[in-house]
Amino acid sequence: MKRLALSAIVALSAAGTLAADGGSLEDAIRGGKFSADMQLFYMVRDFDDPAKTDAKALTFGGIVKYQSGVYEGFDFAFAYYGSHRVGGFFSREEGIGTSLLQPDGEDIAFLGEAYLEYRNDAFGAKVGRQRLSTPLMNDHYLRLLPSVYEAAKLFGTLGNTYLEGGYVQAYSGFGSKYSGFEDMEEKWGEDGLGYVYLKDKSIENLTFRAQYIWAISDTASTGEPISVLDYRYADIAYALPWGTKSYIKAQYGGNDYNDADDSSMYGVKVGTRAVDWLDVALLWNKIEDNNFKAVEAGPMYSDWQQGYGPYEPSSAVGGQMIFYPVENSKIKLGYVEVDSDTPLLIDDYSEFNLDAWYHFNDWNKIRVRYSIKDQSDESEALYYDDDPDNGGREDRTDFRIIYYISF
């Protein structure tokens, strides 16, 4: 982590020197801009287990960012990330389970982005703390803050193909709840991860994506072997020639394990616009042989809100409806049935979720999310049998209201 952070600082200093030598540092700085993506986030998670304390929090925060102007293709940025408890409505202990506060209940505050970027007509490069947007490694923006990475990447477009390759040394964890970056050596190995990603639109109406991520070292600094050696994923999306917004998608994923069976994941999704105010979709996912893991993402069609990895061997069938009741609004309803193929029965449940948006204007919107996760009777029986090694999980519900202000 220190090596990559230091390299970003050195690169930023070098860019400043170049600009100063060219007499354009002042122009680049004055040509920059500040932006803010702020949220007031209320969340309650109710657990069916009476021994567990329900998670509750009201926090305010977000991202305040400075992006410089461009000099000779270079620009740089810094961004403050924060999530701060509001008032005395809920205790800090109650807020821990929401991932809106740190694991000790304290506010979240850290330098979330600090990068130097270069672009020309052919390619670009970016080094430092940054958000990533790939199927298996993205910002997973499910809470007040996204996940961010200490990374270096090269990217460019050749015809209809976008290509990206990079190195990732550390990341801030799900929801950036640690006020910093996690030590990932035990999961990723002592030398971090390398990755390649492509997105191709050479065939009319068809988009193909593929990503491969590998552990550069198969051992941690302690000398112990890591569990997962690689992460792989590919999908296609084809716009069907009939109906409106009709499509079919298919996906594949998997992992190579160090000393265990490898995993495979398959999925299919089909959808269309039924009427002017309604889109519908059906989906299926299957995981075989071992847990399917992503670095930080939910690429599966059946993973909308909860249940994000690692995913047990299981089968999932579900559907979605997206309503557009009035202008600037959207209501998404989803339901999925997941049947576990392991005796642990953790991913053995049904889930209903609602995700509703209303945009007041370009800088002001509100979102309401609600989900019910209902474990099977067999799963609950394992959970409540007083043996934690037997598996199972309890029911839970989530309710969230998020108010967004951007400028």
Counted residue by residue, the chain has a size of 407
pLDDT of residue 2: 53
pLDDT tens across 176-228, in order?
998 889 889 999 999 999 999 999 999 999 999 999 999 999 999 899 999 99
**Residues forming beta bridges with residue 55, ordered by sequence position:** 45
pLDDT of residue 307: 61
pLDDT of residue 305: 63
Q: Residue 310: is the preceding peptide bond cis (ω within 30°)?
A: yes
Domain boundary among 189, 217, 245: 217
Rg of the Cα atoms in the chain: 22
**Is position 277 within any domain?**
yes
Domain boundary among 217, 238, 254: 217
pLDDT of residue 41: 97
pLDDT of residue 316: 96
Does 234 share its domain with 194? no
**Is position 322 within any domain?**
yes
Number of structural domains found in the chain: 2
Does 55 share its domain with 117? yes
Does 245 share its domain with 167? no
pLDDT of residue 388: 83
Does 147 share its domain with 293? no
Does 83 share its domain with 200? yes
Does 2 share its domain with 111? yes
pLDDT of residue 188: 95
Give the Cα separation of 172 and 144 in Å (integer): 13
Does 346 share its domain with 315? yes
57 is in which domain, residue-wise?
Answer: 1-7+49-62+76-217
**Is position 348 within any domain?**
yes
Q: Answer for the pair 311, 300: CB distance below 8 angstroms, yes or no.
A: yes
Domain boundary among 217, 250, 272: 217
**Is position 30 within any domain?**
no
**Is position 404 within any domain?**
no
Does 199 share its domain with 271? no
**Is position 256 within any domain?**
yes
Q: Considering the entire predicted model, what is its pTM?
A: 0.90
Give the Cα separation of 81 and 61 in Å (integer): 8
Give the Cα separation of 171 and 9 in Å (integer): 17
pLDDT of residue 4: 59
Does 161 share its domain with 140? yes
**Is position 283 within any domain?**
yes
pLDDT of residue 7: 45
Sign of CA dihedral 303, 51, 96, 103: negative
* pLDDT by position in tens, the chain (length 407): 455 544 444 445 444 444 444 447 778 888 889 999 999 999 999 999 988 889 999 999 999 999 999 888 999 999 999 999 998 889 999 999 999 999 999 999 999 999 999 999 889 999 999 999 999 999 988 899 999 999 999 999 999 999 999 999 999 998 899 888 988 999 999 999 999 999 999 999 999 999 999 999 999 989 999 999 999 999 999 999 998 999 999 999 999 999 999 999 999 999 999 999 999 999 999 999 999 999 998 799 998 765 667 899 999 999 999 999 999 999 999 999 999 999 999 999 999 999 999 999 999 999 999 999 999 999 999 999 988 889 999 999 999 999 999 99
**Is position 355 within any domain?**
yes
Does 258 share its domain with 385? yes
Q: Answer for the pair 262, 256: CB distance below 8 angstroms, yes or no.
A: yes
C-alpha 380, offset from chain centre: 28
197: CATH = 2.40.160.10
Does 187 share its domain with 325? no
Give the Cα separation of 379 and 342 in Å (integer): 11
The token duo for 87 is: 């008032």
The token duo for 334 is: 């989803």
Reported in sequence order, the residue ranges of 48-148 that DSSP labels E, i.e. its strands, are 55-67, 74-85, 108-119, 123-130
Does 232 share its domain with 307? yes
Q: Answer for the pair 355, 369: CB distance below 8 angstroms, yes or no.
A: yes
